[in-house]
Every structure is written in C-alpha cells, then in structure tokens.
Amino acid sequence: MLSFKDVNADSFQGVYNKISKHIMFLFSLFEYLLKRSKLNTVRLRTFQTIIDQAAD
C-alpha cells in the first residue's frame, strides 16, 4: 500500500518532489532485486532508473 496522507507542501513541485523521494525510498528497500535475476530486462532498466534518481 502506498499512502500520500503525510505529503504536504506549498506547491505542486513540492508535492511532486516529496512523492518522488517516497517512491525512491520504497524502491531502495528492494534494491537486492538488482543483484538477482528475478527481473526481466525492461523492469530491471526501470528499477535502476528509479534507484538512480533519473526517472521523471
């Protein structure tokens, strides 16, 4: 479950930044998946992009 109830900011950009950081944190909890062969190529690239903070 992903909840944004605690995301408060004065602007859209502020909310966007907080949500992005929250998603990156959640992905980092599963970073071990990058070292295993459980993800297909597309999912692996997407996962790595999010972990590298390069996702939009």
pTM summary value: 0.71
pLDDT at residue number 12: 92
What is the identity of the amino acid at 18? K
Question: What is the distance between the alpha carbons of residues 12 and 40, in angstroms, rounded to a whole number?
Answer: 34
Query: Mind listing the pLDDT tens digit for each residue in 3-37?
Result: 888 888 999 999 988 888 888 888 889 888 888 77
Q: What is the DSSP letter of 56?
A: -
Confidence class for position 43, pLDDT limits 50, 70, 90: confident
Question: What is the distance between the alpha carbons of residues 33 and 10, in angstroms, rounded to a whole number?
Answer: 35
Q: 42 by DSSP, 3-state: which? A: helix
Q: 15: how many CB neighbours lie within 10 A of its CB? A: 14
Q: What is the domain partition of the chain in residue ranges?
A: 12-51
pLDDT at residue number 11: 93
pLDDT at residue number 34: 82
